[in-house]
Amino acid sequence: MVQFERLRHTLAPHLAAASACAVLILGVGMGLPAAAAPQKFLGNIIAAHIPPNFNTYWNQITPENSGKWESVEPVRNQMNWTSLDLAYQHARKHGFPFKQHAFVWGSQEPRWIGDLSDKQQAREVEEFMRLYCKRYPDTQYIDVVNEPLSKPPSYAEALGGVGKTGWDWVIWSFQKARQHCPSAKLLINEYSIIDNAGRLGLYVGIVELLKARGLIDGVGIQAHHFSMDTVSTATMRTNLDALAKTGLPIYVSELDMTGDDDTQLARYREKFPVLWTHPAVAGVTLWGYIEGQTWKPGTYLVQDDDVERPSMVWLKEYVRQNPQAVTIQPSKGSAPAGKP
């Protein structure tokens, strides 16, 4: 708690983007004044189009697939920014924080990357980062590396491999992202952290390496159904507390839960408050909400005829009644960003 209080007074810059977001299920969308909006965001994904009711529920945007390298550059040197432009411009128009997902990930890589030399691979990764941040300079958050434990990229050796630290390729990725995207908050992202102490320990180790070099501003944890449906609230709190000890804010990403109406509602009522009220959690992003448009069938919150499921009805009211402030803000670390 002492650490939390010490960090509280430096919170304002970190919260500027979030507090500017007056739309949300508890902001303009519910007829409340802008000042009533919480400082934590509640976001969702955008794919190839903007759902007409998106702004009714959410005030942060992550592109579902259009920010992934394979989607942007399926053919070498032929960039496709169309869907990413759509999501980014919607975020800018409405003052929503925008998170790029993701720069380096072992899934959805361009197929042509495997045909290149190590030197060429590293150059192409850096080019992707540079072109992205030149085109989208107002991006607030970036998942620099997605799933380092679960799905390292095929070209990891080209970025330094394990090296001296065991994670040199991750460090290289963050160094380049910091160089080309200096105004964005840089995040890492991984699944099965909220429910797995062993993976949590490995993940914290990577985070500490990055923090010591001043390269990371927040920690992302995926909250997919395969973790959230069965994890206990006690385990959730324990693991969130452990992540909070890094001194970095936590960004809950890719939240979804399955079940029929009654089961899904019970899960949201039990587990969402643990995420939303934790002092280190800076925001929560769900992974889809419309029937027929979610990654996992059965996780939707709104039917395709716009009728809200009980979980959505509850979620709107809960967040409206429970505005939350973030206690921990990003720290640039004590070491210079260029430290190897």
| pLDDT on residue 296 | 95
- pLDDT higher than 80, residue 190: yes
Going by pLDDT thresholds of 50, 70 and 90, the confidence category of residue 330 is low
Domains located in the chain, CATH noted:
2-321 (3.20.20.80)
190 is catalytic: no
| pLDDT on residue 28 | 31
Catalytic choice (254, 270, 291, 317):
254
147 is catalytic: yes
User: What is the DSSP-derived secondary structure letter of residue 304?
Assistant: T
In the chain, DSSP assigns E strands to: 41-46, 61-63, 99-104, 141-146, 185-190, 218-222, 250-255, 281-286
296: phi then psi, degrees, rounded to nearest 5: -115, 120
Q: What is the pTM of this model?
A: 0.88
| pLDDT on residue 327 | 73
55: phi then psi, degrees, rounded to nearest 5: -70, -15
Computed over every residue of the chain, the mean pLDDT equals: 89
The dihedral over CA atoms of 93, 99, 100, 105, expressed in degrees to the nearest 10, equals -160
Q: pLDDT digit string (tens) for 205-256?
A: 999 999 999 999 999 999 999 999 999 999 999 999 999 999 999 999 999 9
Q: pLDDT digit string (tens) for 104-158?
A: 999 999 999 999 999 999 999 999 999 999 999 999 999 999 999 999 999 999 9
- Among the residues of 20-99, which ranges form H helices? 54-57, 69-72, 82-94
Tokens of residue 155, six digits: 């070209």
Give the pairing of strands 61-63 and 250-255: unpaired
Please say whether the beta carbons of 243 and 200 come within 8 A: yes
- pLDDT higher than 70, residue 29: no
Please say whether the beta carbons of 106 and 88 come within 8 A: no
Catalytic choice (147, 190, 291, 317):
147
